[in-house]
Amino acid sequence: MADDQRRVRIAILGAGTVGSQVARLLIEQKDDLAQRIGAIPEIVGIAVLDPDEAREDDLPRSLLTSDLGALVAEADIIVELMGGIEPARTVLLRALNGGKSVVTANKALLAAHGPEIYEAADAAGADLYFEAAVAGAIPLVRPVRESLAGDRVKKILGIVNGTTNYVLDEMTTKHLAYDVALKEAQELGYAEADPTADVEGYDAAAKAAILASLAFHMRVRLEDVYREGITEITPHDVAAAAESGHVIKLLAIAERTEAGVCVRVHPALVPLAHPLANVRGAFNAVFIEAEAAGELMFYGKGAGGLPTASAVLGDIVSVARHLAIGGKGPRESNYVDVPVLPLSAARTRFQMRLRVLDQPGVLAKVAAILGKHQVSIEAVRQPPRAAEAPFAHLVISTHEAVEADLDATVDEIRECDVVNAVLSVLRIEGE
């Protein structure tokens, strides 16, 4: 490598699970990366809260600093792996305004403040890359932003949260209760001590907002995303899903309809034959339907230091290449002006499980309520011996219906004198 070869100065902000792997790989693979970039990638510093604190990694201590401002000023590329909104937002805006390129894995920041950050990058003519923000190692942001730029994405169905997929998979394969599966996930390090962001669907909602914005060329904000988590899913729901040939998955769904776009995160029944049904453990997968391309599926590890570092390094190489040879990567486009629809306007299929009196005329009464609200029944099943006398269970699957109509249906069914309980209402996706 020639000594006079151009250097690209890189600041890494944060040295946690991802940051430490990014730094290690940049150091270990420097020569290879230099060949790919056409310039030598040089880490000018790694920002940590306390440079003197004992660490398990063997990153050169001389690179550690707590002086974020000085580090950012010295670098050409800022790699933000701190997470959280502040100080990340302020630091990145300042960096972009100063013309520096940014690589970030910070989905929460992009989902909450994306427009401001995208605009700052665009105004400064700087690169903003964030492949690791959605589904970790899986190449997804680039395919959606670049490879599919000539197509029209119709629908995205994604398992974009590994923690919840792990918990649901354990509930499915080992017949565990939610609490037991979650505890196991925490012991294995898949779930955080405070699992709220994952199990309540906030993490998936942030990723859904980012993906929908890219796929539909518009601004979808976090608050536009309807969100339900998996905390209410019971072993009975899982067993009933299996009986009807489904598996329960937490899905991030972004859909373009004639009326606008609808973006939502909720548990859903996925048919066993659908590719997403076979996504096991903590893996992520995203299924995309595009007008010309047809169906596409992206699969891989959505979290973890090393897999996520792969996506970050890919971004660093892209951005560094632009600095080395001139030019800039594509920005996200946001020219589409259609409404973001509330969930009540979405059209989905449902399966509801009811505990009803086991006597003549019950099915007719329930069916009449569905009919009254324009919800068409696709199938009714009465699982044998599922309930103690005088009750029976009914499992009703519907054709596609408007959410608002389904809500009204369920409200009325709850009040119906022959219905003892609405045991669950789950949407069906992927059929």
CB of 26 to ligand HSE, least distance (A): 21
Token pair for residue 374? 């324009």
Q: Is 328 a catalytic residue?
A: no
CB of 253 to ligand HSE, least distance (A): 17
Q: Are 305 and 298 in contact (CB under 8 A)?
A: no
Token pair for residue 191? 């779930």
Sign of CA dihedral 368, 373, 379, 380: negative
CB of 163 to ligand HSE, least distance (A): 3
Looking from the CA of 245 toward its CB, the CA atoms found within 13 Å total 8
Q: Which run of H or E residues covers position 28?
A: helix 17-28
CB of 425 to ligand HSE, least distance (A): 25
CB of 73 to ligand HSE, least distance (A): 30
- Our CB check for ligand HSE shows the closer of 19 and 162 to be 162
Which of the following is catalytic: 100, 107, 155, 207?
207
CB of 118 to ligand HSE, least distance (A): 20
Cα–Cα dist 316/296, whole Å: 26
Cα–Cα dist 102/72, whole Å: 10
Q: Are 77 and 313 in contact (CB under 8 A)?
A: no
Cα–Cα dist 1/39, whole Å: 9
- Our CB check for ligand HSE shows the closer of 285 and 387 to be 285
331 secondary structure, DSSP code? P
CB of 146 to ligand HSE, least distance (A): 22
- Our CB check for ligand HSE shows the closer of 111 and 410 to be 111
Q: Which run of H or E residues covers position 271?
A: strand 260-271
- Our CB check for ligand HSE shows the closer of 302 and 430 to be 302
Count of other CB atoms within 10 angstroms of residue 77: 25
CB of 113 to ligand HSE, least distance (A): 17
* Contact positions vs ligand HSE (CB under 6 A): 161-163, 198, 203, 302-303
- Our CB check for ligand HSE shows the closer of 282 and 341 to be 282
- Our CB check for ligand HSE shows the closer of 45 and 300 to be 300
- Our CB check for ligand HSE shows the closer of 162 and 267 to be 162
- Our CB check for ligand HSE shows the closer of 41 and 162 to be 162
Task: Catalogue the active-site residues.
Answer: 207
